C-alpha cells in the first residue's frame, strides 16, 4: 500500500508530465482538465458512436475520460487536411512501420506533412496521442458475449486481443506501463465483470483480473513484435544441445528437461500461460483472498 508521501510524489510527477501510468491508477485530479459541456468532449460533438443524439432507440453517449483533452480547432480548423482522426491514423502508421519508440510528435507531423506545432490543436501531447491510438485499436477487439461461460469468455478475449496486436505490430509495446482505458473498453469491462461476479469470483479478484490479463497479452504480443520468428527452430535445437552438454552432476534437472525447456511454439506457450491465469482465477472460487494476497486495505 502506498504511503501518503508516495501518493503525493506520484501525483506530483503525473501532474507535471501528464502521463497516465498503470502502476498508479488515480482519478482525474491528476490532470489539468478544462471543464466543457458534454457535447464538446473530444470525439463527441454531441453525437454518440451509434448515431446522432436524440435518435430513437439510441444508447446514451458514453462520457469521455476526464483526462481526454478537447480539440481546439474542431470543424473550423484553418487546415482542413488536419483533424484528430488524421493525426491518430498517422501515429498508428508510424508505430506499425517503425515501432513505438519512433512515435514522436515531430515524426507524426512529418508523416502528415505539417509542422509539429500544428498537431497540438488536436492532441494535448504525445501521451494523449498514444492513448488515442490504443483507444482506436481496442475498438477492434470483439466485445465478449454476455452470458458466456467466464473461462471461455476470457480465453476468447485474450486470443482476439493477441490477434489484433499481431495485426498492428508495435502497438502492444505501447500498452506496457500504461492502462489502455477508454470508452472502447468500457462495454468489454462491464461484460467481463458481470460474468466473473456471477460465477462467484470475489469482487477484488474480478476487478484486478482485467489488468493482469492485459499485462499478459500485451507483454506476449510485444515479445513477438521484437523477436524475429525466423530461425526459431534452429535456436531451439542449438539451445537444447547446449543444455544437454552441461555437466549432469551440476545441472541434473536442467539436462533432464532440456527438450522440454525449448518445446512448443509461441502459440503453445501463449495458450499454456492463459491456462495458468484462468486456473489461478478459478482457485478463488474455493479459496477466497487471504491477507497474504496483499489486497488493498478495506476491500
Q: What is the percent of the chain where pLDDT is above 70?
A: 74
Residue 213: phi and psi, rounded to 5, are: -65, -40
Question: Parallel, antiparallel, or unpaired: how do β-strands 51-52 and 47-48 relate?
Answer: antiparallel
pLDDT above 50 (res 171): yes
pLDDT above 70 (res 269): yes
**Any idea which residue has 478495506 for its cell?**
298
Hey, what's the cell of 29?
A: 485530479
Could you tell me the CATH superfamily of domain 4-138?
Homeodomain-like (1.10.10.60)
Euclidean distance between CA atoms 179 and 127, whole angstroms? 12
Hey, what's the cell of 191?
A: 461484460
pLDDT value at position 32? 40
Residue 258: phi and psi, rounded to 5, are: -55, -45
Dump strand ranges (E) for 3-83.
Answer: 47-48, 51-52
Hey, what's the cell of 39?
A: 457535447
pLDDT value at position 290? 77
Highest mean pLDDT among 5-19, 32-46, 66-80, 145-159: 145-159
pLDDT tens digit string along 23-37?
Answer: 444 433 334 444 444
| Helices vs. strands in the chain: H and E counts, helices first | 12, 2
Of the ranges 50-54, 119-123, 196-200, which one carries the lowest mean pLDDT score?
50-54
pLDDT tens digit string along 98-109?
Answer: 999 999 999 999
Is residue 159 within 8 Å of 201, Cβ to Cβ? no
Is residue 282 within 8 Å of 274, Cβ to Cβ? no
Domain assignments of the chain as residue spans, ordered by start: 4-138, 150-227+264-293
Hey, what's the cell of 139?
A: 475498438
> Please, where are the H alpha helices in 176-265?
183-199, 203-226, 232-244, 252-256, 258-261
Q: Does domain 150-227+264-293 have CATH number 1.10.357.10?
A: yes
Hey, what's the cell of 285?
A: 472460487
Euclidean distance between CA atoms 240 and 131, whole angstroms? 41
Section 28-52 average pLDDT: 41
Is residue 67 within 8 Å of 20, Cβ to Cβ? yes
Euclidean distance between CA atoms 220 and 201, whole angstroms? 25
Amino acid at each position: 500500500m502506498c504511503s501518503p508521501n508516495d501518493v503525493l510524489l506520484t501525483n506530483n510527477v503525473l501532474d507535471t508530465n501528464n502521463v497516465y501510468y498503470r502502476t498508479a491508477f488515480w482519478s482525474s485530479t491528476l490532470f489539468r482538465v478544462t471543464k466543457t459541456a458534454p457535447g464538446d468532449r473530444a470525439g463527441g460533438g454531441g453525437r454518440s458512436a451509434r448515431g446522432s443524439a436524440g435518435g430513437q432507440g439510441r444508447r446514451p453517449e458514453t462520457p469521455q475520460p476526464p483526462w481526454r483533452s478537447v480539440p481546439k480547432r474542431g470543424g473550423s480548423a484553418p487546415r482542413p487536411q488536419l483533424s484528430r482522426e488524421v493525426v491518430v491514423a498517422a501515429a498508428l502508421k508510424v508505430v506499425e512501420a517503425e515501432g513505438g519508440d519512433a512515435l514522436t510528435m515531430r515524426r507524426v507531423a512529418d508523416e502528415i506533412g505539417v509542422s509539429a506545432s500544428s498537431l497540438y490543436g488536436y492532441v494535448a501531447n504525445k501521451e494523449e496521442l498514444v492513448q488515442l491510438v490504443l483507444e482506436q485499436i481496442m475498438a477492434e477487439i470483439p466485445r465478449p458475449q454476455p452470458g458466456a461461460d467466464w473461462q471461455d469468455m476470457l480465453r476468447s478475449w485474450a486470443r482476439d486481443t493477441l490477434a489484433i496486436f499481431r495485426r498492428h505490430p508495435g502497438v502492444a509495446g505501447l500498452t506496457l506501463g500504461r492502462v489502455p482505458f477508454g470508452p472502447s473498453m468500457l462495454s468489454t469491462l462491464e461484460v467481463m465483470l458481470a460474468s466473473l461476479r456471477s460465477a462467484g469470483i470475489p469482487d477484488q479478484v474480478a476487478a484486478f483480473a482485467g489488468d493482469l490479463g492485459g499485462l499478459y497479452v500485451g507483454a506476449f504480443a510485444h515479445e513477438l513484435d521484437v523477436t524475429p520468428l525466423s530461425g526459431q527452430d534452429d535456436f531451439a535445437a542449438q539451445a537444447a544441445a547446449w543444455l544437454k552438454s552441461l555437466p549432469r552432476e551440476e545441472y541434473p534437472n536442467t539436462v533432464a528437461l532440456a527438450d522440454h525447456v525449448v518445446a512448443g511454439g509461441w502459440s503453445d506457450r501463449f495458450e499454456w500461460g492463459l491456462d495458468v491465469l484462468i486456473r489461478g482465477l478459478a482457485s478463488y472460487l474455493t479459496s477466497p483472498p487471504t491477507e497474504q494476497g496483499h489486497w488493498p486495505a478495506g476491500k
